[in-house]
A = this chain, B = another copy of it.
C-alpha cells in the first residue's frame, strides 16, 4: 500500500496539475487528494480545514463504499456527491486515492 511519501514524483506532478486545473473553475473552494485511509497527499485548504475534512470525508467514503459492496458484491463506488444548503462536496475515489472537490453550488459554471 503506497504511503503518501512513497507516491512517485510523476504522480505528484500530475496531481498538482489536476488540482490547479480544478481550482481554476469558478465556484471551487478547495481541492484535496488523499489516500483511501484519509492521509493527505495534496490540499489547497489550510492545515486545520484539511485535517478536519480529510478525516470526516474519508470515513464517509469508506462507509459508502462498504454499503455499495454489501448491497451487491460485484458493485463498486465510483462517485459520491454531498449537497448541502451552502456547499457541494464531490468525492471521486479510485483504487489508491480520493479526489475531493469542495464547491459553491450557486456559482459553479
Count residues on chain A whose CB falls below 8 Å from chain B CBs: 27
Could you tell me the distance between the alpha carbons of A79 and B56 in the complex, rounded to whole angstroms? 17
User: Is the beta-carbon distance between A84 and B68 smaller than 8 angstroms?
Assistant: yes
Could you tell me the distance between the alpha carbons of A82 and B82 in the complex, rounded to whole angstroms? 9
Contact of A86 among B53, B64, B75 (CB under 8 A): B75
The interface residues of chain A, by DSSP majority, are classed as: mixed
With a CB–CB cut-off of 8 A, which chain B residues contact A7? none
Contacting B at CB under 8 A, from A80-94, are 80-87
Give 23 pairs: A residue, B residue, CB < 8 Å, sorted on A.
Answer: A52-B71, A53-B71, A56-B67, A56-B70, A56-B71, A60-B60, A63-B63, A64-B82, A67-B82, A68-B82, A72-B86, A75-B84, A75-B87, A76-B85, A77-B84, A78-B83, A78-B84, A79-B81, A79-B82, A79-B83, A80-B81, A80-B82, A80-B83
